[in-house]
Every structure is written in structure tokens, then in C-alpha cells.
Chains A and B, each alone.
Chain A
Amino acid sequence: MKILVAVKRVVDYNVKVRVKADNSGVDLANVKMSMNPFCEIAVEEAVRLKEKGVATEIIAVSVGPTAAQEQLRTALALGADRAILVESTEDLSSLSIAKLLKAVVDKEQPQLVILGKQAIDSDNNQTGQMLAALSGYGQGTFASAVVVEGDRVKVTREIDGGAQTVDLKLPAIVTTDLRLNEPRYASLPNIMKAKKKPMETLKPEELGVSTASTLKTVKVEAPAARSAGIMVKSVDELVDKLKNEAKVI
């Protein structure tokens, strides 16, 4: 079966972003960009399903600027077979991304689509669920285990109170949580091989998708700073402060 994996180019998770002085957004000039960590987990899961003989082909897809080819090459180096870049320089909403991915799903007809649960830039946590709704597919979000059995998939999910397992008809959508797997690193030979793997570029117009949005970002501000705290010298002093100064105990 074919698996489609959605990968997003985002600011690296180690970077502490700063808000621009004109409050129009965050400053991403000269900042390290990487594959969204949850998408790395998604690629890894697809590769493992291929290694187990469940999947036959893995297609990595990204929506973003030309530079997102870097993250697609990484996916290819990790084991994806080919890549599709839907090229757009706009800051698209999750609904628009989901519509573009739906158009790719219609073209490629994968049995399973794996996405990250959340992009660490927008912190939206929406795209997989929206793609599932647009496709009419079942969804296993925040997955910590994925087991394909014939034409169905069992997904164990991390939920507020613990864990839940659901059974979905294929094709289906899965979004990854942190404990699903530990992604591998790409080896140098595989990075070299990835350069020769096919990468197709499409435009939103070619997919017949309108990316108009109902959302407008009015401004972006830095969060309120916490006032400076103090270092205490002993547990006694800590207990005293908590009881008599902060009065929280």
C-alpha cells in the first residue's frame, strides 16, 4: 500500500524566536529551519511500515516555499521514495493546507496518510483532522502505536486521561505523538541517494484549490515577561517565602 507523509518546514525547535519590532510577526531571517519534529516521527513510522512489508511506496509532500525542498530531501534520505512540493510562498491556514493535501490524496490515492499532530510554529493541531473530514476518512490522532491489519488500522492514542485505542477503516489519517517512535538519522550514503530520487513541483492553481482564508493576523506581540525572581539559600528560606511572602501554602 501507498503511504503519504506530510512534512512541514518550520523554525528549528531549539530556536527561541523573537517578535519583530513592528509586531507584524516573528523574525525568521537567518534562523535555522528544520523539518517539524512531529513530521520526522511521521516519516519514521512510514519507513518502519515499509520495512515491515506493510507499505510499498512512501510519498513525502510539503506545502511551502522552494526552500522546503530541503525538508523533502531529508524525508527522501530517511526512506521516502519520492516527493511532491506544492509551492507557495503564502502563509497558508491549516484549512488551505488540508485542501491542498486532499487534492494530492485524490491524485495519489494512498491508503494511509501520516501527519504530525502539531506544527511547532503555528501550534495549530488542525491539519490532519481537517484532511480527514475533507476526505471522509477516519482519523487516529496523537498516535503512540499504529498497527495495520488487512484493510483496517488500529491506532493507540495519547489522550488527557491516558490512552485510547480506535479501529479505523482504510484509507485513514494518522497524526503522530512524541512516543510513537524515535526517528533515525539519515546516513551519508542515503543523503547522497536522496539527491537522485524524484521530486515533483506543483502549484496550488494546478490542483484547483483556492487558498483564500477567513483569518487575518492583526498583530504579533511578545508574551508578558515574568518579573525577576530570587535565589533562596535553603529549604527553610523557601518554606518561609512560600508561607509568608507568596502566601501560596
Chain B
Amino acid sequence: MTILVIAEHNNAELNAATLNTVAAATAIGGDIELLVAGEGCSAVAEAAAKVAGVTKVLLADNAAYAHQLPENISLLIAEIGKGHSHILASASTNGKNYLPRVAALLDVDQISEIIAVESADTFKRPIYAGNAIATVQSSASVKVITVRSTGFDAVSAEGGSASVENVSSAQDAGTSSFVSEELAKSDRPELAGAKIVVSGGRGMQNGENFEMLYKLADKIGAAVGASRAAVDAGFVPNDMQVGQTGKIVAPNLYIAVGISGAIQHLAGMKDSKVIVAINKDEDAPIFQVADYGLTADLFEAVPELESKI
């Protein structure tokens, strides 16, 4: 059995989520090949070669793959992956974008966002915003799977010594081109991998008030997230949304401030180790999942917490 894992990266660095995806591959068992497709991404391939458990790195360095355009990269992955037992990618916006295309090209179903490996053909995945966990079995010749990072503890980024093999294939479907990208810049940890997350909701009232959360976050080394209501209202950018249809996080500590606790929000954070909720409404559903609940006005409680923590 040889498993193909698609590396998540920005042409310069290997994204940490790849280590969780390799962990899922390790749980399945077999040789693990890591595909690095991009442009000018040899540094990524070098990092990939050191990842624990990886047997071989395939480097497809070509302009066609520079921006992970799904029309192009899916052709490459389908071509390389068809002889493999499994093809795995992170359930990132990249993986979700190209992997279903790969599955369709190979005429197999895809299994989305697995959180556990039962055996080489059986996996667990949440459905209905995490209100149910399905165990699914696949009889596909190639099992095409996206992996939810929070379900698997990352393998070590060091210790491996895989060989790097160049892949010359350059697949350009000619149907799409990259125009531009606006990436949020922040010195805070990335939401997906942060040990502590502080999130604000509609109760924050506006974007300026989020400064309170940024101050608290900086004091405890946290990432900052938000509910959909806070994003929709324009308080913060979309990449901060936590939930069923946003980012899934499972930090050691999640502090929800002015968030009611709709099922769609809970879906993105209820696997956090410790949950704190600050809300002025004592009946807010968020308190049902909180380990520590504080009924208070956030405009008093958050500055106090920031000064005392």
C-alpha cells in the first residue's frame, strides 16, 4: 500500500497542517509519498523530506501549479495518484478545492474531513454540523480523503530522510488563471494550530472593540477568531470565522466572548480541551458546552481578565 499525501504550502514553507495529514496516513499504514506541487518550492520539498514517516517526496515545480489552481493540480494528482491506495489532503480551502476534482477524475467518491481512521478502508467523519459522527467504509480502488487536522496529532517535522524525486509533468487545463490574492497579515499564531483561541461575536458591537480581544490574545499568546455574525457585520475578515462552514479549531483553551453558541459555531470549536464563555445572557447556549461560564458584560469582564490573567 502506498499513500499519496498532498503537501499544503505557500511555495516557501510547508504548512503545519500537512503534519496532521501525514499522521492520518500513518494511522492507515503503508509507504507515504508526499507530493509538493507548486512553483519555486524546492525549499518546501526539503522540509517535506524531513517529515517523520515520509518515504519519498515528489516535487512538481512548474508555473502551472504556482497558485494551486484546482483545474491544473487535480490533473497532476490524478495522474500520479491513480496507482496509489489512498490520496490524502488537508481539509483546508486548498484541499477542499482540488481534491473532489481528483476523485471525480478517478471516478471514485471522496470522503470529506475524516477525524479518525478505523482501518485502511473505514473512517469516521462528522456530519450535520458535528451533531452526528458517521463511520463510512469505502470500496474504491483509490480512496480519496480530506483530513480534518484537529482529528490527528501532528507527526514530527524532523527525523525523516526521504529522497526527493522530480516530477516533470506540467498539466495546464487552460480554463483558469490566477488574478490576485489578499492575505491577512498577523503576528499572532495561526487560528488552525493555535494553543489558545479568543473569539468574539456579535456582542463585540464593532471592529474597534475587537482591540480588546487582540490585547488579551497578545498577553496569552492566543489567536483571534470570530463568529459568523461578527464577520458578516464586517467587524473582522472572513478568514477569522470559526464554525461548521469556517475554520475548525481544537485548542487547549477557547474563550468565546459575546457569542451565543449556535450549532454552526459549536461545530467549529466544541472539541477544544477547555472552553470559557463570557456572555451577559445566562441562558446563552454557549454555556452548555463551556467548562467555565461567566455571566457578565464583556466590556467589563474582558479588560479585567486581560489585566489579571
Residues of A within 8 A of B (CB): 11, 13, 16-19, 26, 38, 93-95, 98, 117-118, 120-134, 136-139, 141-142, 144, 154, 157-169, 172, 177-179, 213-223, 226, 229-232, 234-236, 238-239, 241-242, 246, 248-249
Contacts and interface: CB of A to CB of B under 8 A. Distances in A.
A64 B101 CA distance: 23
A161 B184 contact: yes
Contact of B100 (A17, A125, A157, A230): A125
B182 A166 contact: no
Given A125-B112, A141-B96, A218-B137, A162 B184 contact: yes
Contact of B253 (A93, A164, A246): A246
Contact of A179 (B69, B102, B231): B231
Contacts of A136: 173, 175
A138 B128 contact: no
Contacts of A232: 292-294
> Chain B, interface size: which category?
35 or more
Nearest to B295: A231
B134 A217 contact: yes
B286 to A, nearest CB: 10
B294 A235 contact: yes
A19 B132 contact: yes
Given A160-B192, A242-B292, A130 B135 contact: no
Contacts of B136: 215-218
B110 interface: yes
Contact of A159 (B104, B133, B220, B239): B239
Nearest to B251: A248
B175 A166 contact: no
Contact of B109 (A11, A93, A131): A93
Nearest to A20: B132
Contact of A16 (B103, B131, B296): B131
B49 interface: no
B92 A133 contact: no
A108 B19 CA distance: 44
A246 B180 CA distance: 44
A124 B113 CA distance: 8
A222 B208 CA distance: 39
B228 interface: yes
Contact of B128 (A121, A133, A241): A121
B interface SS class: mixed
Nearest to A118: B245
A218 B179 contact: no
Contact of A167 (B100, B135, B176): B176
Contacts of B98: 129
A213 to B, nearest CB: 6
Contact of B94 (A95, A160, A213, A238): A160
A130 B107 CA distance: 10
A169 B239 CA distance: 27
Nearest to B92: A160
Contacts of A172: 175
B245 A130 contact: no
Contact of A130 (B103, B220, B276): B103
Contacts of A168: 175-176
A161 B136 CA distance: 31
Nearest to A229: B291
Given A133-B105, A214-B108, A234-B294, 9 more contacts: A95-B110, A118-B245, A127-B100, A130-B100, A220-B132, A223-B126, A236-B308, A246-B253, A249-B309
Contacts of A117: 245
B160 to A, nearest CB: 25
Contacts of B112: 122-126
B274 A248 contact: yes
B217 to A, nearest CB: 13
Given A120-B244, A122-B127, A123-B244, A133 B101 contact: yes
B138 A215 contact: yes
A138 B103 CA distance: 16
B74 interface: yes
Contact of A248 (B102, B177, B253): B253
B218 to A, nearest CB: 14
A169 B129 contact: no
Contact of B228 (A164, A169, A178, A215): A178
A108 B308 CA distance: 64
Nearest to A130: B104
A-B pairs, top 5 by smallest CB distance, nearest first, are A138-B175, A129-B100, A133-B104, A130-B104, A214-B140
A213 B111 CA distance: 12
